Structure 1
Amino acid sequence: MSRNLFLVLNEACQGSLDKTFLSLPANQSLTYADFFKLAENYALALKSCGVTEGDRVLVKTKKSSDALALYLGCLQLGAVYIPVNPRSTQHEIDYFVNDADPAIVIFDPNEDISVGIRSETIGDGGTLTLMAASAAQEVLNASSSTSDIAAMLYTSGTTGRPKGALLSHRALISNGIALNNIWAFKTDDVLLHCLPVFHVHGLFVAIHCAMLSGSTVIFREKFSVTEVTQLLQKSTVFMGVPTYYTRLLSSNTFNSTICSGMRLFTSGSAPMTEQTHKNFYERTGHQIVERYGMTEAGIIASNPLEGKRIPGSVGFRLPGMDLRIAIDGRACGTGENGVVEVKGDHLFSGYWRKPEQTAKAFQKDGFLITGDIGNLDDDGRLRLEGRSTDLIISGGENVYPKEIEICLDDFDTVLEAAVIGVPHPDLGEAVVAVLVADGSLSIQELKDYVVKRLTSLKQPKEYFVISELPRNTMGKVQKSKIRASYSALFTKGIEGN
């Protein structure tokens, strides 16, 4: 039988079945045995709903142990797990359902959404949860092969429409094992988990590392400075985004004593400033291990666990991965900036039903074009210098301007819209909309319109109306000029609408 992801995780946990896997609020917990049983029950419940191997399961639910068990249940059944942001609007869900063509949609019991296909709910009182609790027991054989798709994660792009990135069992296994090894996870580790579980970072990186090592996870729904400063004293590993670290540093109660039992802090999903890295080391004595990845490739590079960690560098490529810096197919020299390109088993299998965009993502020799600009030093360390797209990273989450611009352009009195990211002391970057509009535009009405169509992280923090957008001789909007005009917005208090 093929060693798919479910079998790999199950095998890795066999020596830890009686050990606590998830430590939950209110002194609740699940052992590994409890968790695998719950996952199997969810797999059986899905099967009773008609879900079979290869079917897609779209999940819009808050972070919970049930949601995590549902993920593992999908792996066991051979279904494709598709988590989406629990804050997604009806408009966004309509798009996901139409695009993904799922066999079923799972959401929280208190959700007021309509999907037009079979749906069930998960959590306290949820219909799928009740089915799982009373599922007729039978043996489920995970027959998926390593080349089969385990999950599909939506990622936006310059087209403005989210694309489903297909992640195979092989890709997730390869990346998980490499990370587990370079970060030296052990069975006695305790991972403090405050990340979302609809991203690569929180679901695959964090959870797979824990399960592959049979370690314990302190599982919390969201990040809270107060709670994290308490729970770090019971932990050995913490994974976060730069925003988490800046917020911890803003607390007077956060100090080296709290971190005395910690062995590893990692950061990713957005660039960390060298100042944050320095401030954290001075406060705690710990150097944050910064790493670099993307939905389509998992984790690509990481600073070393042992040895020198250089602020501003994302470290070395992961084992089993090829990485190069190139410009139009030409390999760059040491220290020369170019596009980061990667190749290996960890890469995604393509975009769902988008063969042309899949083809454009790869070079002819199989290297994935990341779109990020970087360079390699003499030791092979990767330093990122920027992005070749207009991607905004706000609070550790990717936001693509084109999707927001399409939404704004659809509003009757907006003539043109340009969406940019500008520096923000807490979020890293904040979304700002610069508009050309007719005289009857109501900013409040526009805000009300946007709230119904876009998740909160995509909603502009400020709106500005100008007479015309700057353009070059080819008629292309010059976003660099717009960004320069508003770069001090959140540091010098430029007033918007």
Structure 2
Amino acid sequence: MRHDLEFRSIPGMVRASAGRFGEAEALADLDDGRRWSFTEVAAEMVRTARAMIALGVRPGDRVALWGPNCPEWIFTALGIQAAGGVLVPLNTRFKAEEAGYILRKSGARTVFTVTGFLGTDYLGMLPDGVRGVVMRGEVEEGVLGREEFLALGEGVEEGAVHRLIDGIGPEDVSDIMFTSGTTGSPKGVVLGHGQSLRAFGWLSGVFTFTPGDRYLIIPPFFHTFGYKAGWMACLMQGVTALPQETFDVDQVLERIAREKVSILLGPPTLFEDLMRHPRRAEYDLSSLRATVPSATTVPAELVRRLGSELGFEVVLTAYGLTESTSLVTSSRAGDDVEDIVNSVGVPADGLEVVVASPDGVALPPGEEGEVLVRGYTVMRGYWEDPEETAKAIDADGWLHTGDVGRFNERGFLSIVDRKKDMFICGGFNAYPAEIEKLLGTHPAVADVAVIGMPDERMGEVAAAFVVRSGALTEKELVAWARERIANFKVPRRVEFVDALPRNASMKVEKGKLRALLAE
């Protein structure tokens, strides 16, 4: 089924799901007990869109959303899109400088956010000229809160929203997903309604999402995995979405048992923590049915244990990147277990995927090269950055992923090296160039290089090699960085060196740094 042709837009899909699934439970707030049917979610979308229109949001306007997983995130995102706006999600771990860059780059003049989340003052971090609206939490005088915001829309007729939804097509932009790049500056991946619906309508079917399933969504909504493979896929497939604000292993175990959770996706660390929990046997986890551990490389033993220890019937692997709507390949239910544990599956329907040599020639099975993908999932480009877009997508439409992989004789792809120097910390992509750029602004840092360092729980963490130009300790630099960048990017180890190893082209030889770290 081509979901892009059937629904045309994400709001169009929500409206259709209200008719398909009606009063079945679509969404629950496990913190306060509120629950919504598919009909009610569609009504909240329209109500929020009316307020967006009254606020001045017009088709094409970029509107940012900065907050943790919660029902209000979903309603706000849908309201932005139903009004014709373009959603710009922000990482909840961002500091003011990181968020400010994305707001300036995207041109978003309004940010919907929260108060009271982990002691973070999101409103206080907004740059001058950007309006903040509180979608969840207590509101101080002079700040627009959710109820006051919704009241703005009372003068806007519902028909105006439905006409806007009717006018949104598959080619219209649904969101700009900012991803850090090896250049050190975040780039905005422009994605459309149609490719999002087609990709995750297909993928959620492969993942065996079924009406009546219940999905505890731990991956963050600001990431494709929590947003499009999360609540959007749930609304499309008749699955109950259960947003999880933060990962607390005791709370997650309790909610799986109480809510009869059947779908659970997330990074390997999530499942490791569940399996290691000393009281896991006290919880009834028999409802668990389908899972996909999210990482470029997943330990084969973990994939096996998900079935044997946690009881999942369907355990799959997949691969994608933000620039490809997070979909390139996936394994399928019924695949041989060895193919599932040793690969990221086969190319998704409708996509061309090759492993290519440096001069762009497709390589035969068994040979390693760069993974290239072409097809409907490939982004429109980077927002207002034609130069970087041209570097990523060649003249023939191939997206150069920067990942090194190889196919086996049966067409299953294995990723053998990560995208350039990127490493994954607790499920979050971390790019050394971005961290280096920040650390290099410290007055006592003359030169710096960052690599990923193995970590038993987080997968990998940042390790920084620093050439000092003044007095500086590891503790001081880490504390300084912690105030300026997201926690998952902060170096967990700092090594001070007299000089960084460089080749004839003056590029840092990170292989030597990894060897030095191993010593």
TM-score by length of 1: 0.93
Give the distance between the partners of 1:191 and 1:316, measured in 2 at CA.
25
CA contact (8 A) 1:186 1:213 kept: yes
**Secondary structure of the corresponding residue to residue 471 of structure 1:** coil
Q: How much does 1:388 deviate?
A: 4.5
Deviates more, 1:424-433 or 1:85-94: 85-94
The corresponding residue for 1:322 is 352
- Residue 12 in structure 1 maps to residue 1 in structure 2: no
Structure 1: unaligned runs, 5 residues or longer: 489-497
Residues 1:249 and 2:249 aligned together: no
AA in 2 matched with 1:252 = P
Q: 1:283 aligns with which of 309, 312, 321?
A: 309
C-alpha contact (below 8 Å) 2:65/2:77 kept by paired residues = no
Q: Which residue of 2 aligns with 1:491?
A: none
Structure 1's consecutive aligned runs of 4 or more residues displaced over 6 angstroms after TM superposition are none
Which residue type is aligned with residue 390 of structure 1? D
Tell me by how many angstroms 1:221 deviates. 0.7
Alpha-carbon offset, residue 349 of structure 1: 0.7
Which of 465, 474, 481 matches 2:496? 465
Q: Which amino acid aligns with 1:14?
A: G
Which residue does 2:100 correspond to in 1?
94
Letter in 2 for 1:102: A
**Of the candidates 148, 151, 162, which is equivalent to residue 131 of structure 1?**
148
Q: Which amino acid aligns with 2:397?
A: G
| Residue in 2 that maps onto 1:447 | 478
- SS of 2:174's equivalent in the other structure is strand
Q: 1:183 to 1:421 in 2, by over 3 A?
A: same
Q: Please, which moves more after superposition, 275-284 or 361-370?
A: 275-284
CA deviation profile, 1:174-201 (whole Å, cap 9, x unmatched): 1111112212322111112112110010
Q: Single out whichever of 115-124 and 361-370 deviates more from structure 2.
A: 115-124
Q: Which residue number in structure 2 is paired with residue 493 of structure 1? A: none
Residue 15 of structure 1 aligns to which amino acid in structure 2?
A: R
Query: Structure 2 CA distance, aligned partners of 1:197 and 1:468?
Result: 41
1:336-485 aligned within 5 A: 336-485=367-516
Does residue 1:224 correspond to 2:241, yes or no? Answer: no
Q: 1:388 to 1:196 in 2, by over 3 A?
A: closer
Any conservation in 2 of the 1:316–1:380 contact (CA below 8 Å)? yes
Instruction: Determine if contact 2:208/2:290 at 8 Å carries over to the other structure.
Output: no
| 1:202 positional shift | 0.4
Corresponding position: 1:155 with 2:179: yes
Cα separation, 2, equivalents of 1:378 and 1:312? 13
- Cα deviation per residue 1:95-123 (whole Å; 9 max; x = unaligned)? 11221111322222453223222332221
SS at match of 2:406: strand
Give unmatched runs, 5+ long, in structure 2: 116-120
For 1:492, the equivalent position in structure 2 comes to none
Which residue of the partner structure matches residue 495 of structure 1?
none
Tell me the TM-score normalized by structure 2.
0.90
Deviations 1:390-420, CA, capped at 9 Å, x for gaps: 1111111111111111111111111111011
| Matching residue of 1:114 | 126
Counterpart secondary structure, 1:176? helix
Give the letter aligned to residue 461 of structure 1: R
Partner of 1:104: 110
One-letter amino acid matched to 1:187: P
Q: Distance in 1 between matches of 2:295 and 2:223?
A: 10
CA shift, 1:165, in A, is 0.5
- SS in structure 2 at match of 1:378: coil
1:272 equivalent in structure 2: 298
Aligned to 1:30, which of 36, 52, 65?
Answer: 36
User: How far did 1:207 drift?
Assistant: 1.5
CA 1:396–1:270: 2 relative to 1, 3 Å: farther
One-letter code aligned to 1:296 = E
CA contact (8 A) 2:253 2:283 kept: no
The SS at the match of 2:320 is strand
In the alignment, which of 314, 324, 327 is matched to residue 299 of structure 1? 327
User: Secondary structure at 2:43's aligned position in 1?
Assistant: helix
Counterparts of 2:473 and 2:283, CA distance in 1: 52
Distance 1:16 1:132, change over 3 A: farther
**Post-superposition shift, 1:132?**
4.1
Q: For 1:167, what is the secondary structure of its paired residue?
A: strand
User: How big is the shift at 1:482?
Assistant: 0.8
Identical counterparts, % of pairs: 27
Secondary structure of residue in 1 paired with 2:288: coil
SS at 2:435's partner residue? helix
Inter-partner Cα distance in structure 1 for 2:285 and 2:137 = 35
For residues 444 and 65 of structure 1, the distance between their equivalents in structure 2, rounded to whole angstroms, comes to 39
Deviation, 1:285, is 4.5
Instruction: Please list the CA deviations of residues 402-443 of structure 1 after superposition, one character each: whole Å capped at 9, or x if unmatched.
Output: 111111111111111101101111111111111111351233
Cα pair 2:211 2:239 within 8 Å, conserved:
yes
Partner-residue secondary structure (3-state), 1:15: helix
1:184 maps onto 2:208 in alignment: yes
Measure the CA separation in 1 of the matches of 2:18 and 2:277: 37
Q: Which moved more, 1:349-358 or 1:250-259?
A: 250-259
Contact in 2 for aligned 1:316/1:381 (Cα 8 Å): yes
Q: 1:438 to 1:407 in 2, by over 3 A?
A: same
CA distance in 1, matches of 2:419, 2:56: 44
SS in 2 for 1:181: helix
| In structure 1, distance between residues paired with 2:57 and 2:33 | 34
Q: What amino acid maps onto 1:167 in structure 2?
A: L
Once the two structures are superposed, the pairs formed by residues 35-50 of structure 1 within 5 Å of their partners are 35-50=41-56
- The more displaced of 188-197 and 248-257 is 248-257
Aligned-residue CA RMSD (Å) = 2.0
Task: Verify the 8 A CA contact 2:481 2:490 in the aligned structure 1.
Answer: yes
The counterpart of 1:62, out of the listed 60, 68, 79, is 68
Distance in 2 (CA, whole Å) between partners of 1:113 and 1:275 is 43
User: Bigger CA drift: 260-269 or 358-367?
Assistant: 260-269
Counterpart of 2:174 in structure 1: which amino acid? A
Shift of 1:474: 2.6
Hey, what does 2:118 align to over in structure 1? none
Asked if 1 retains the 8 angstrom alpha-carbon contact of 2:103 and 2:109, the reply is: no
Amino acid aligned to 1:326: A
| Residue 261 of structure 1 pairs with residue 251 of structure 2 | no
Aligned mate of 1:21, from 23, 26, 43 = 26
The alignment covers a number of residue pairs equal to 488
| CA distance in structure 2 between the aligned counterparts of 1:66 and 1:285, rounded to whole angstroms | 32
